[in-house]
């Protein structure tokens, strides 16, 4: 999709065209995560399965910090691309590659150093600690690969090309699953094999995506004249990137704190929560993709100075998010028990009951999550990333406090009720801020 296709024409079709490949990619990623967990659970047992859940909460903190930073940078990419500023685009690519790479190396060293303290802080059961540590040592050592993989994908998405990153994600997922099976089932490398497969697959995707950009979009890569310290871009890159990363980190720090509460329920609670996170991740794929689609659309039109089309995009996006959110909520409620059994097997167990109750409760409120995603897409698109950060912090604060109170009474279902309370808080905040911003612009224009 070229720039001019986002600056004119049918908005609803454009939003769906932008979001569909990202939705396919997110679903593909969630299916991989589910398959990865299934392979670990079937070949390595319940303890390893629970350990992957704990490790996933910590891993996602760092992965989504880097992903958040890349998304913040992609806002600059999209605004410059929509405004036709190719020189600025090339200089921003150089800035993001160098400055972001250094930041990632610092994050890698810090994460490895503080890992033992983090595992103790979240009450990791002693029988699972070795599994979690072995898995995370490999994953965290590959964070630089994760960053560049995200950055290259977001660069293409910012230009409106959401299909090519999907192709590389599909390739990565296939390689990942093959290596997972080989490393775990054939070579008996245990949980280290699962982590190694992930890093290798991401490295192949990163290399392929980078080569594609060089061959097909060489005009977007920096030239000798673009090399240097661009103070304005550096400030803007870290301003948008770090705030976007903080939003992602606050969400996953909160999830780690929630995980620490779930850990007090023992292995059945941990296994149930791990299974529900896999199912919920699939549902979140739809809202996240819509959010990304709205953000790209808004960024390019905002960079082109078309405020009226920006507001139209938000309205059309809200309609699509509400319709999709309603359908997903119904499907989650109906498929709660079969979905949990997919991970935990047949028969009756405390873990199965925990997981089923969680999904049935959370499905009643998923419409709120989708509405919030639409407004987050708008605020990221116009570069006001502080507002989603505040909203996410409010959301996760409510969720953590409520979880600590409700989990001892209601088990894993208490997390679902706490999450719903957090969604009510963030949607109220984002809606109020959007109305305030739009009215303020209307008064300025008049």
Asked if residue 21 lies in contact with residue 300, where contact means CB atoms within 8 angstroms, the answer is no
What kind and span of H or E run contains 270? helix 267-303
**133 and 122 in contact (C-beta within 8 Å)?**
no
The dihedral built from the CA positions of residue 237, 242, 247 and 253, taken in this order, carries a sign that is positive
Give me the pLDDT at residue 127, please: 81
- Which of 142, 118, 145 is CA-nearest to residue 132? 118
Q: How far is CA 389 from CA 63, 279, 398, 427, in A?
A: 17, 25, 14, 13
Helix (H) or strand (E) holding 416: helix 413-445
Q: For residues 396 and 394, give the distance between their C-alpha atoms in angstroms, rounded to a whole number.
A: 6
For the segment 370-392, what is each residue's pLDDT rounded down to a tens digit?
A: 999 999 999 988 888 889 889 98
Averaged confidence pLDDT in the chain: 85
Check residue 78 and give its pLDDT.
Answer: 86
Give the DSSP letter string of 278-344: HHHHHHHHHHHHHHHHHHHHHHHHHHTT-HHHHHHHHHHHHHHHHHHHHHHHHHHHHTHHHHHHHHH
At residue 151, the pLDDT reads: 95
Distance separating alpha carbons of residues 443 and 439, to the nearest angstrom: 6
Per-residue pLDDT of the chain (446 residues; tens, 9 = 90+): 444 567 778 888 888 888 888 788 777 776 666 667 778 777 877 777 778 777 877 887 788 888 889 988 988 998 898 888 889 999 999 999 999 999 999 999 999 999 988 888 877 888 888 888 999 999 999 999 999 999 999 999 888 888 898 899 889 888 988 998 899 888 888 889 988 998 999 999 999 999 999 999 988 899 988 988 889 999 989 988 888 888 777 777 777 788 778 887 777 777 788 788 778 877 888 888 888 889 888 888 888 888 888 899 999 999 999 998 899 899 988 888 888 887 776 665 777 888 888 888 998 998 999 999 999 999 988 888 889 889 988 888 998 899 888 888 888 888 889 989 999 999 999 999 999 887 766 555 54
The pLDDT tens digits of the residues spanning 402-422 come to 988 888 888 888 888 998 999
Of 250, 441, 251, 286, residue with least CA distance to 371: 286
pLDDT at 433: 93
Element housing 11 (H / E) = helix 11-44
Helix spans in 221-266 (H)? 231-263
Which element (helix H / strand E) includes 208? Answer: helix 190-216
Report the C-alpha gap between 358 and 352 in whole angstroms: 10
What string of DSSP letters covers 105-171? HHHHHHHHHHHHHHHHHTT--HHHHHHHHHHHHHHHHTHHHHHHHHHHHHHHHHTT--HHHHHHHHH
Cα 358 from chain centre: 21
CA distances in angstroms from 2 to 223, 253, 301, listed in the order given: 23, 37, 13
Report whether 7 contacts 309 (CB < 8 A): yes
């Amino acid at each position: 999709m070229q720039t001019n296709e986002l600056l004119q024409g049918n908005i609803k079709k454009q939003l769906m065209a932008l979001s569909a490949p990202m939705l396919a990619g997110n679903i593909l990623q969630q299916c991989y995560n589910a398959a990865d967990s299934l392979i670990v659970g079937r070949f390595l047992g319940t303890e390893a399965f629970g350990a992957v859940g704990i490790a996933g909460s910590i891993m996602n903190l760092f992965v989504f910090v880097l992903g958040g930073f890349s998304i913040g940078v992609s806002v600059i990419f999209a605004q410059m691309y929509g405004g036709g500023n190719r020189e600025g685009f090339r200089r921003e690519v150089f800035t993001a590659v160098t400055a972001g790479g250094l930041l990632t190396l610092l994050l890698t060293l810090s994460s490895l150093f503080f890992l033992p303290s983090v595992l103790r802080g979240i009450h990791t059961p002693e029988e699972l600690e070795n599994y979690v540590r072995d898995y995370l040592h490999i994953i965290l050592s590959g964070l630089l690969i994760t960053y560049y993989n995200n950055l290259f994908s977001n660069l293409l998405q910012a230009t409106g090309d959401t299909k090519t990153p999907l192709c590389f994600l599909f390739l990565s997922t296939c390689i990942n699953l093959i290596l997972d099976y080989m490393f775990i089932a054939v070579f008996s490398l245990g949980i280290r094999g699962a982590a190694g497969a992930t890093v290798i697959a991401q490295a192949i995707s990163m290399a392929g995506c980078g080569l594609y950009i060089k061959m097909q979009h060489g005009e977007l890569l920096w030239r000798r004249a673009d090399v240097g310290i661009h103070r304005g871009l550096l400030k803007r890159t870290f301003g948008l990137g770090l705030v976007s990363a903080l939003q992602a980190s606050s969400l996953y720090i909160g999830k780690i704190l929630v995980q620490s509460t779930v850990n007090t329920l023992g292995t059945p609670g941990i296994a149930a929560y791990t299974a529900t996170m896999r199912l919920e991740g699939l549902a979140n794929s739809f809202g996240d993709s819509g959010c990304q689609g709205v953000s790209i659309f808004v960024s390019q039109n905002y960079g082109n100075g078309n405020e009226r089309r920006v507001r139209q995009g938000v309205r059309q996006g809200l309609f699509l998010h509400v319709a999709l959110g309603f359908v997903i909520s119904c499907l989650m409620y109906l498929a709660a028990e079969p979905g949990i059994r997919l991970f935990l097997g047949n028969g009756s167990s405390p873990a199965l009951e925990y997981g089923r109750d969680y999904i049935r409760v959370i499905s009643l409120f998923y419409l709120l999550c989708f509405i919030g995603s639409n407004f987050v897409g708008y605020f990221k698109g116009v570069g006001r990333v502080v507002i989603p950060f505040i909203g996410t912090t409010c959301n996760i604060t409510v969720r953590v406090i409520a979880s600590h109170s409700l989990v001892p009474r209601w088990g894993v279902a208490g997390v679902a009720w706490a999450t719903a309370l957090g969604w009510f808080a963030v949607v109220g905040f984002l809606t109020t801020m959007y109305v305030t911003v739009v009215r303020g612009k209307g008064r300025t224009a008049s």
